[in-house]
Chains A and B, each alone.
Chain A
Amino acid sequence: MSTLRYRDAVRAAMIEEMERDERVFLVGEEVGHYQGAYKVSEGMLERFGPKRVIDAPITESGFTGISIGAAMVGLRPIVEYMTWNFSAVAFDQILNNAAKIRQMSGGQFSVPIVLRAPNASARQVGSQHSHAMEHFYAQVPGLKVLAPATPADAKGMLKSAIRDEDPVLFMESETLYNVKGEVPDDPELLVPMGVANVAREGKDVTIIAWSRLTHVSLEAAAALEKEGISAEVIDLRSIRPLDEEAIVKSVRKTHRAVVAYEGWPFGGVGAEISDRIQRLAFDDLDAPVLRVSTLDYPMPYNAKLEQHVIPSVPRILEAVNQVLYRS
């Protein structure tokens, strides 16, 4: 075990996989000479050289498409976007090529590619730089979407993603990059996709979260404990594939569920989870499933307003109280 920050865990996964497999390379804006916009790829250019750590100009659609083409004929690209927001200009490549080539070719070609970047809010970066993009991508069959909350999961899941035969979208967070945690050193220790983690056990209510909101939900659970309420926190880690069983198992125990995440309330992953709970655990529910999402506005710059619209401990507590009929 080593104590690593989240960013170092992501880097460790890339380095180990690039040392293991010559076909793996990293491409993106500022990943090489600049050492990464968020220093995730620091030192990698020196280690692997410009053939495998490739600085791209500002051409998200271009280098995403090139990586898809390279993946079709046998390479295993890791594409870094400076943030997931910028993937919007590569959306056609991801939606129409990465996700569809296997099907359109009748299974002749697959696209083993990893697209990774920080996602969602990042403290006052405004409406164009704060999108929670997992909601757009998780809808698409052909794609996989991961959003780990801890350094150990970041490393173990990124390694799984790089070894996967299908396109995997890997959601990090600027607000998590400095989070420290214990990370296994074993380069063959992978964290599988589609398996949620019970981040905290409880019996009165289930809070389902992923990425940064796992940490916010754990804070809320600690506050609830002081009031004598035992909250279970499920860290999904993987959005597609979704660990439906873990969610249902927890709700069968607690009979109440709150889904906490960044992203707007209209549709999205939270609505998907609510749907599955009501379909699969209807008889076990003692209250409607509630969602604590980003409020239904573009992200405001003002610090207080930003805190107002993104999900917070008080808003999670409010939702928990509602499903417990305590308010």
Chain B
Amino acid sequence: MTTLDTSDELHLKLYRQMFLIRRFEEEAARAYAQGKIGGFLHLYIGQEAIAVGAHAAMRQDDYMLTTYRDHGLALARGMAPRAAMAELFGKVTGCSKGLGGSMHFFDREHNMLGGYGIVGGHIPIGVGTAFASKYRGEDRVSMVFFGEGAVSIGDFHEGMSLASLWRLPVVFVCENNEYAMGTPISRTLSVADVSQKALGYGMARERFAAESVIHVRDRLRAIVDRVRETSEPTLVEIQTYRFRGHSMSDPGKYRTKEELEERKRKDVVLRARVELEEKGQSEALERIEKEVEDEVTDAIRFAEESPEPGPEILAPTTYTGAFAR
């Protein structure tokens, strides 16, 4: 076990990443309401401690990929807010040149291997990156995120089954935010404990709540270290909650105002702030928040001013070589 950094400096850094995701998405929601962003926009607000804690538990050369709720992980991995916002605006300066949109954030440089739009379909892809690491004799770990709504679909089970059978270094992270779009977990799963799904595959499992970003980092680091060491996969269920609807079109009428308010009191971003304030870091917090505000404002401006991709981009991004017609 490596000794974990628990300094205020690290905590401030993680707070900064969470605050960036929060503010980035709040501004994205505003731009969406103004009609500047089209299609779907699935916000991560409320779940930030997971992406940020997970990134802190991983190495930059490890592979990470997630669902269509992907802004948080991409920013945590190190994607520039400019490239992220420009992608939402459909601009050629976006991470995927304006071809992917909100659901398809990719960043090869930072080993962010994508956001994917088909529930569960990316889980075997994540396992495949772990397969490649093992095939080449590297010690990279792969981490693939999905919601509790994904654990009923076949690709989750095929990915889990093969990862266990072939002993692949992959961490399956179920972000259990209690609702698969509008359906509570009690109506989608026969068990309340998602991590039990590991049992049938003879896979290690862990289960905890995303109480704080440091807690998430600590728990995942221990798991990632073990996976790296043993090349055995693990299923991790992390209990969390999203404050917004499933996507921008969802008013979230399936849950009560009281439930939402209760959860917002446990907001991981707010809690990190309070804790750091108590440790006398008010000045640093204010500086960080100012920086993030500027960064997000700059990202919006950059996205607005960037050019759109032209039709000449379509053929070379469909095939690597000559277009096959």
Which residues of A approach B to under 8 Å, CB–CB?
25, 51, 56-57, 59, 61-75, 89, 92-93, 96-97, 101-110, 112, 141-144, 164-166, 193-194, 240-242, 244
Beyond A74-B132, A106-B94, whether A66 also contacts B320 by CB under 8 A is: no
Residue in A97, A164, A240, A244 whose beta carbon sits within 8 Å of that of B125 in the complex? A97
The answer to whether B318 and A102 have CB atoms under 8 Å apart is: yes
The answer to whether B100 and A65 have CB atoms under 8 Å apart is: no
> Which A residues lie within 8 Å of B124 (CB)?
61-66, 68-69, 93
Interface centre among A108, A109, A244 (most CB of B within 10 A): A108
Closest 9 interchain pairs by CB? A69-B128, A65-B124, A62-B158, A106-B97, A105-B106, A165-B320, A106-B96, A66-B128, A69-B125
Whole-angstrom distance between the alpha carbons of A233 and B126 in the complex? 46
Beyond A107-B97, A109-B113, A142-B319, whether A63 also contacts B162 by CB under 8 A is: yes
**Could you write out 25 A-B pairs with CB less than 8 Å apart?**
A57-B162, A61-B154, A61-B155, A61-B158, A69-B127, A69-B132, A72-B125, A73-B63, A75-B132, A93-B121, A96-B121, A97-B121, A102-B317, A102-B320, A103-B317, A104-B114, A105-B104, A105-B106, A106-B94, A106-B100, A106-B317, A107-B97, A108-B96, A112-B320, A144-B319
Q: Mark B112-147, 1 if CB is under 8 A from A, else 0.
A: 011011100111111111111101100000000000
Whole-angstrom distance between the alpha carbons of A51 and B166 in the complex? 10
Name the residue on A nearest B138 (C-beta): A73
Whole-angstrom distance between the alpha carbons of A63 and B166 in the complex? 11
| Whole-angstrom distance between the Cβ of A13 and the nearest chain B Cβ | 19
> Which A residues lie within 8 Å of B129 (CB)?
69-70, 72-73
| Whole-angstrom distance between the Cβ of B272 and the nearest chain A Cβ | 32
> Which A residues lie within 8 Å of B236 (CB)?
none
> Which B residues lie within 8 Å of A104 (CB)?
96, 99-100, 104, 106, 114
Beyond A69-B132, A104-B100, whether A96 also contacts B159 by CB under 8 A is: no
> Which A residues lie within 8 Å of B165 (CB)?
57
The answer to whether B104 and A165 have CB atoms under 8 Å apart is: no
Q: Mark B92-111, 1 if CB is under 8 A from A, else 0.
A: 00111111100010111000
Interface centre among A61, A69, A244 (most CB of B within 10 A): A69
Q: Does B321 contact A (CB under 8 A)?
A: yes
> Which B residues lie within 8 Å of A110 (CB)?
320
Whole-angstrom distance between the alpha carbons of A280 and B224 in the complex? 59
> Which A residues lie within 8 Å of B60 (CB)?
none
Whole-angstrom distance between the alpha carbons of A144 and B325 in the complex? 9
Name the residue on A nearest B115 (C-beta): A104
Interface centre among A51, A62, A107 (most CB of B within 10 A): A62
> Which A residues lie within 8 Å of B247 (CB)?
none
> Which B residues lie within 8 Å of A242 (CB)?
325
> Which B residues lie within 8 Å of A69 (CB)?
113, 124-132
